[in-house]
Structure 1
Amino acid sequence: METKPTEVPAVDGLPLLASLLDLRRDPLGTYERARREHGDVVRIASGPPGLRTTIHFVFSAAGAQQVLAGQSANFRKDDRFSQEMRQTFGNGLLSSLDDDHIRQRRLLSPLFTKKRVADYAAAVCDEVDALCAEWEADRDGRPDLNEDMSRLTVRMITRILFGSDAEQAAKVVRRCMPALSTYTLRRGLMPLNLPRSFPTPANRRARAAQKELHALCDRLIEQRRRSATSGDEAGTDLLTLLINAHSDEDTPLTDEELRDQVLVFLLAGADTTATSLTFTMYMLAQHQNIQDSVRDEVRSVLAGRRPTPADLDALPSVERVLKEAMRLYPAAPVLIRRAVRSTVVDGYAIPAGAYVYVSPWVTHRHPSYWPDPERFAPERFRPEEESRRPRYAWFPLGGGPRSCIGNHFAMLQMKLAVATLLQRYRFTGTVPHVPLEVGVTIRAARAVDCTLSPVGRVSADTLSRSR
């Protein structure tokens, strides 16, 4: 006999605004409290009567897997927030749907294989070296990890996307992207918005930032097209590769589609990587014994030289600390879908048309999968430990057919950066708690200061004798 699905429990809210104020003031805490008090599938209402939105949150690993992978055809990315994303950042891979998404993914996937992204390792290391040179010239010894990791990741992604035009592009990206991210999230959470054409201060600022980003992308796309027409030697930057991307089934990307993809890469490639690197270094600065252990591994493998992609498999501790930091601070705290038909998730009835949020932030802290979940413990990601957990107990890069296409690229960047930084410096934490700013991604809401001290370089012979 088939078991009847359970009705989803609801969070109590205020009579007039329901949980709108809680979601605006402390969204992450509101999600966590909902799971603790009501379980793994919960309804949270937001907004006044007549304009109220009800969100179905799914916090279990099994439920996340159903929504993102097993039953992904039942859940589309055409919710209000995704619509706002499309209006701000275009119809790129992050927001496109159906045939558009399938075509874009076919065209772009060959550019992001593990083998292909290894070609960018030298550029990544160059930018990390440049950051170290700035630290050494500054001589203050107290960097702001939030600011510096953000600057580093923007420089890495703009250099890889735009090549020799990276420096100018990085300034525009750092000026415009944070404001657009926050603007888009606020519109996505509000039950009712004024049209973007209304001349409110927020709309005017967003239009100006969007116009500046579009002008940058359009100019660089035109330059690459012109160079190709004039017979100049083809560049090797990612924008040139995007222009030349093709498959037997698909037409090449138009200029507008190229701009939309570039905006997605700038948003996802800079913000998410910056968050992950900031909190990896922050957690290592707070846990000296773990930092020392990882540094010993790095120095044993590299012996003072620059890391390469071939070294990374020999640095499992670097990967483990990154994964644990991404567990505690997943750059995307929620992934949003809309149910296109009535379905059952983790035993609960989800009606057609419902907004469904799966939350890496909450699932990554679920005590069923993570004992003592707030503790920083990279050993959780030893192979024998990972094999005991459900696949979707950890999903900071999404999952299923819409998983992050740049996952190999992101991990390459972060592993190379962490290995380089630990080989050169000891980081000591000075900030016991970092408040978070929740936009399209999460990021530190203030400076993440730490104390920096150089560690002596060591030769392979010295390491061998010390062992």
Structure 2
Amino acid sequence: MTADPHIPGPTGPRLVRSLLELRGNPMSAFRRARREYGDVVRLAAPLPGLRLNIHLVFSAEGAREVLATQAANFRKDNVMYEVIRESFGNGLLTSQDDEYRRQRRLIQPLFTRRRVDGYADAACAQAEALAERWRGAPDRTVDLTEEMPAFALRTLCRILFGADSDNAVQVVSRCLPVLLDYTLERGNTPLTLPRHWPTPRNRRAAAAQRGLYELCDEIIAGRRTGPEEGAGGGTGDDLLGLLTGASGASGASGGSGVSGENGESGEALDLAEIRDQILIFLVAGHETTATGLAMALYLLARHPEAQARAREEVDRVLAGRRPGAADLDVLPYLTMVLKEAMRIQSPVPFISRRAVADAVIDGHRIPAGADVMVCGAVIQHDPTHWPDPERFDPERFTPDREASRPRYAWFPFGGGNRACIGQHFSMLESVLCLAVLLQRYELRPAGPEIPLGNTVTLKENGPIRCHLTARTTTPAPAKRNAAG
């Protein structure tokens, strides 16, 4: 394949319009760029104090090259990842090279399918609590942009912090949105003030960061004293307990209890690294799951025939009992609904990298030092792989149709050796939550239709309201799945 030294992209007034649109409505800018210039597009302009040099990748083949086959040449060295490190530490999301490989090796045993399946009952309990609370919803109407992030946060805190989760939810719900919004704004703004300047925004972000750090440090310190003396009486069966070690090893820089797959390597995460991992889990495992769930419920409400089919599957498979991990494989239509929802509204619309050396992507030469954005939200609406891409059609994800598409036509959990370590947990939590809610309610839209796929985050859609009708027969919340 011959490399083309010229990559198309806007210039002059069109470039100015694209940059303004990129700042105000990134998804609109990405879709316009792909329509006008093709699968690889360059946005380049001299700006005061820096030069903008972004290459947008809009093809499944380009995504495969950046994220998998040439992944070593595309690193997390750009501004966005740097500000994430400054805010949340250097956990799995941001670490690189030997440090990433070390962290992944130590943490991977905590995310095996068998280990993650052990959290199914905790996820179902949170879904049942949500369903019970919805019985008191005013006018039997709920806003999914509020309800599903709150559910995902409570579930994640329960899995991460165990018995300490009630206090953790209060702190995280207060601090995480402040620090995350601040971080995203700094990562997407060409010129920013130094973080140590005492501006109101910097001070709010610093206070939020202190709150999260103090929460994690307090619980970690409590766990190291042992489950009976630790804060909240943690038993070590949650992720933080597994990271720190329930026996409470000594030493300020060791004692995590996570020491490689055979437990004999002598390696361990120190206390600051444990905190960094917990914070990254909160960042990466919260909004993404909430987006998939909210979109799945909204789309089912808008498509009663699909909702009826999903409910029939749930009723037939579960017969009124609580779902469990073993049911994930026997609820295929519900899984397809979730995948299609994540295709239409991608939880992670784009993934950014920086080229180390010159590379050829989709026949175009990307220069060393260039920032690259792989735009999954655009690729997942490419009519080449997704006919009538705006249409909701869970049947796109039958096994045969999935096998017929390129691997990177759909990648909400990333790809290559940096694929999300928590993707099985996210799918398990989401399918079980959908099953519990469909056991108890029928849903109808209670507001105007929203422009799906045109926003970066869930909250940018505005309120997504659904009206609930309680079903006449519902399962008992305490009933357990005999198989799970």
What band does the TM-score fall into relative to the shorter chain? over 0.9
1:131 equivalent in alignment to 2:144: no
Aligned partner of residue 53 in structure 2, secondary structure:
strand
Measured after TM superposition, the shift of residue 385 of structure 1 is 1.0
CA distance in 2 between counterparts of 1:370 and 1:222 reads: 50
CA distance in 2 between counterparts of 1:58 and 1:6 reads: 16
Aligned partner of residue 312 in structure 1, secondary structure:
helix
Aligned partner of residue 169 in structure 1, secondary structure:
helix
Contact 1:308 1:416 in 2 (8 A): yes
Measured after TM superposition, the shift of residue 11 of structure 1 is 2.0
1:264 partner amino acid? I
Give the corresponding residue for 2:283: 267
The correspondence for 2:376, drawn from 339, 355, 360, is: 360
Measured after TM superposition, the shift of residue 369 of structure 1 is 0.8
Give the corresponding residue for 1:29: 28
1:394 equivalent in alignment to 2:395: no
Measured after TM superposition, the shift of residue 144 of structure 1 is 1.1
Aligned partner of residue 468 in structure 2, secondary structure:
strand
Measured after TM superposition, the shift of residue 456 of structure 1 is 2.8
Measured after TM superposition, the shift of residue 10 of structure 1 is 1.3
1:227 equivalent in alignment to 2:226: yes
Per the alignment, do residues 46 and 307 of structure 1 end up closer, same or farther by CA in structure 2, a change over 3 Å counting?
A: farther
1:306 equivalent in alignment to 2:322: yes
CA distance in 2 between counterparts of 1:146 and 1:447 reads: 6
1:371-409 Cα deviation digits (max 9, x unpaired) = 111111110001111111111000000000110000111
1:386-444 Cα deviation digits (max 9, x unpaired) = 11111100000000011000011100100100111111111101233347999985544
Give the corresponding residue for 1:421: 437
Of 9-18 and 165-174, the range deviating more from structure 2: 9-18
Per the alignment, do residues 313 and 163 of structure 1 end up closer, same or farther by CA in structure 2, a change over 3 Å counting?
A: same
Where does the alignment leave 5 or more consecutive residues of structure 1 unmatched?
460-467
Per the alignment, do residues 46 and 90 of structure 1 end up closer, same or farther by CA in structure 2, a change over 3 Å counting?
A: farther
2:121 partner amino acid? A
Percent identity, aligned pairs only, is 50
Give the corresponding residue for 1:174: 173
1:351 equivalent in alignment to 2:364: no
Give the corresponding residue for 1:164: 163
CA distance in 2 between counterparts of 1:162 and 1:442 reads: 25
Aligned partner of residue 143 in structure 1, secondary structure:
strand
1:42 equivalent in alignment to 2:41: yes
CA distance in 2 between counterparts of 1:21 and 1:233 reads: 49
Structure 1 length normalisation: TM-score? 0.93
Of 435-444 and 306-315, the range deviating more from structure 2: 435-444
Per the alignment, do residues 455 and 269 of structure 1 end up closer, same or farther by CA in structure 2, a change over 3 Å counting?
A: same
CA distance in 2 between counterparts of 1:13 and 1:259 reads: 47
Aligned partner of residue 118 in structure 2, secondary structure:
helix
CA distance in 1 between counterparts of 2:43 and 2:56 reads: 8
Measured after TM superposition, the shift of residue 85 of structure 1 is 0.7
CA RMSD of aligned residues (A): 2.2
Per the alignment, do residues 458 and 431 of structure 1 end up closer, same or farther by CA in structure 2, a change over 3 Å counting?
A: closer
Contact 2:123 2:429 in 1 (8 A): yes
Give the corresponding residue for 2:251: none
CA distance in 2 between counterparts of 1:181 and 1:359 reads: 21
CA distance in 1 between counterparts of 2:242 and 2:3 reads: 52
1:432 equivalent in alignment to 2:448: yes
Give the corresponding residue for 1:202: 201
Give the corresponding residue for 1:295: 311
Per the alignment, do residues 18 and 126 of structure 1 end up closer, same or farther by CA in structure 2, a change over 3 Å counting?
A: same
The correspondence for 1:245, drawn from 258, 267, 277, is: 258
How many matched pairs? 458
2:326 partner amino acid? A
2:309 partner amino acid? S
CA distance in 2 between counterparts of 1:228 and 1:143 reads: 38
Measured after TM superposition, the shift of residue 285 of structure 1 is 0.8
Give the corresponding residue for 2:120: 121
CA distance in 1 between counterparts of 2:191 and 2:184 reads: 13
Give the corresponding residue for 1:464: none
Of 443-452 and 193-202, the range deviating more from structure 2: 443-452
1:245 partner amino acid? V
Give the corresponding residue for 1:411: 427
Per the alignment, do residues 6 and 379 of structure 1 end up closer, same or farther by CA in structure 2, a change over 3 Å counting?
A: farther
CA distance in 2 between counterparts of 1:177 and 1:438 reads: 24
CA distance in 2 between counterparts of 1:266 and 1:110 reads: 19
Per the alignment, do residues 403 and 105 of structure 1 end up closer, same or farther by CA in structure 2, a change over 3 Å counting?
A: same
CA distance in 2 between counterparts of 1:46 and 1:416 reads: 47
Per the alignment, do residues 73 and 140 of structure 1 end up closer, same or farther by CA in structure 2, a change over 3 Å counting?
A: same
Moved over 6 A (4+): 228-233, 435-440
Aligned partner of residue 419 in structure 1, secondary structure:
helix
